[in-house]
Amino acid sequence: MFNITPMNRNILLLLIVIDIVAVVIGVLPTIWAAAISVAIFGLIIIVNFPLIGISIFLVGSFLFSYFLGESQLITIVIVIICLTGITIYYINRDIPYSGIRNDFATLSFLLFSGLIVSGFFYTPNTDYAISKIYRYAMFNSLAFMVPFIFHNDQRSLKKLYDNIFYVALGLVLLSSILILTSNKYSSTRFNMSGTVNPIWIARVIGVGILISLYKIQFYRDDMTKRMLYIVFIMMSLWIMVLTGSRAPLISVFISSVILVLYIVERSRKTKFLTAFGSLFLAISLLFMIPTEIMVSKYSTIGSRVSTLQRFALWERALEVTGANLFLGKGTGGFQSLSGGFTKYPHNIFLEASSELGLIGLIIMISFILRPLWKTKEIINKQRAFGILIFCLWLFNLLNAQFSGDFTGNYLLWFCVGSWIELSSSEEVTQ
């Protein structure tokens, strides 16, 4: 009998899985083949690394489902992978679990979720309302509750953010390969060969940049690792520029400056020099990008039209709010009043006011802006990690003012949930 070591057994298992996937791809239609492939690989990965499954859901649900074929089937598979990862983590959790401290933001979240469901009963657009409620339950609710499973286990919660960084790193590497093997992205927005909305790519990469700035501080004596993180940041910014997505680029700059300024205590002089250096670096980066790329991506008619469309949508959302002041037009109701041009106003506050009225807007504000109430307390307790969560929240909040609907901005719900968990935690960490 052969003596099979654990490592050899894992390699053998992986080879068997690859064979199975090869057969699946060969005999099934594309969507089913992709979905089953994701499911098989996901199962193998999360059994050994459960946090990977959660992180793939958090930063890759929309992105990967569209890249693999724009299918709800693949999205459902990714959600199942996330739930499996949560279950495996909970089973193997060493620290006894106790419920988190009550927070009014949790109540606000439940009330807001109830409003979205109740909005179905008076919306003029029931078909889209069903889709929106389904996606809200699938993405926003799960993303909001994920951090609670890590209550008083900050080590694992930080590992989750490490895994999110690895997903962003994988996206940067994949994007770099696609860009370097094609010359068309010098004049068009990078969209992963036409399969993914560029803004989703930019958002995931922006999250990776912020986490890398947090991690780099722990390697002050390791120049090699610091340089690798800097290379990652430069590559990420390069890809973000190629996506042509302005909101994530501006948002990541603002959030990064705040993170660098406050992640450790500094004198006023040091803060000024840091802010000046960050601005100089940003301007230098713009000059490093060929002029024709900047002109084609940020000065085209399409870019100006996109900006003007936002203003038109916001104006229409204010009109809808004024005509349906208290309860709004119902979940998904904005689409029926936009002339079929778009499904949402590309601003989550105006989306809330136009579809759920002032009642929905007030409840959402009390939930989404909750981190502003306890910023000082949490940062004093968990300086570096607290600053990271705050800057990720700010990055996603700024993005949510210019693109996407509730469900497309579900990472903002995750950041609010993380903030509630930090405020409830009894641990004091960096």
Spell out the domain ranges in the chain: 1-98
Tokens of 98: 């106790």
Residue type, 197: N
Q: Which of 91-100, 370-379, 380-389 has the lowest mean pLDDT?
A: 91-100
What does the mean pLDDT of the chain come to? 75
Query: According to the model, what pLDDT value does residue 349 have?
Result: 93
Query: According to the model, what pLDDT value does residue 26 have?
Result: 47
SS3 annotation, 196-241: CCHHHHHHHHHHHHHHHHHHHHHHCCCHHHHHHHHHHHHHHHHHHH
DSSP string, 250-304: HHHHHHHHHHHHHSS---HHHHHHHHHHHHHHHHHHHHHS-HHHHHHHHSSHHHH
Q: Give the confidence band of 302 by pLDDT, cuts at 50, 70, 90.
A: very low
Query: According to the model, what pLDDT value does residue 69 have?
Result: 47
Average pLDDT over residues 257-273: 69
Query: According to the model, what pLDDT value does residue 351 have?
Result: 92
pLDDT by residue (tens digit) across 67-80?
Answer: 544 456 666 767 77
Q: Which of 2-11, 206-215, 236-245, 329-338 has the lowest mean pLDDT?
A: 2-11
Query: According to the model, what pLDDT value does residue 278 have?
Result: 64
Query: According to the model, what pLDDT value does residue 31 have?
Result: 54
390, pLDDT greater than 70: yes
* 215 or 7, which is more confident: 215
179, pLDDT greater than 50: yes
Average pLDDT over residues 379-384: 73
Query: Cα separation of 329 and 149, whole Å?
Result: 35
Average pLDDT over residues 121-129: 85
Q: Give the confidence band of 90 by pLDDT, cuts at 50, 70, 90.
A: confident
Query: According to the model, what pLDDT value does residue 115 have?
Result: 92
Tokens of 335: 């689409």
386, pLDDT greater than 70: yes
Query: According to the model, what pLDDT value does residue 87 have?
Result: 77
What lies within 8 Å, CB to CB, of 302 at 6+ separation is: none
Residue type, 304: R
137, pLDDT greater than 60: yes
234, pLDDT greater than 70: yes
Which backbone phi and psi does 342 adopt, to 5 degrees? -150, 165
Range from 18-32, 125-139, 258-272 that averages highest in pLDDT = 125-139
374, pLDDT greater than 90: no
284, pLDDT greater than 70: no
Instruction: Compute CA 217 distance to the chain's CA centroid, rounded to the nearest angstrom.
Output: 23
1, pLDDT greater than 60: no
Instruction: Compute CA 367 distance to the chain's CA centroid, rounded to the nearest angstrom.
Output: 18
- Its pTM stands at 0.82
Average pLDDT over residues 98-126: 82
* 328 or 377, which is more confident: 328
pLDDT by residue (tens digit) across 247-262?
Answer: 888 889 888 888 887 7
pLDDT by residue (tens digit) across 30-75?
Answer: 555 555 665 666 566 666 666 777 777 777 665 655 554 445 666 6
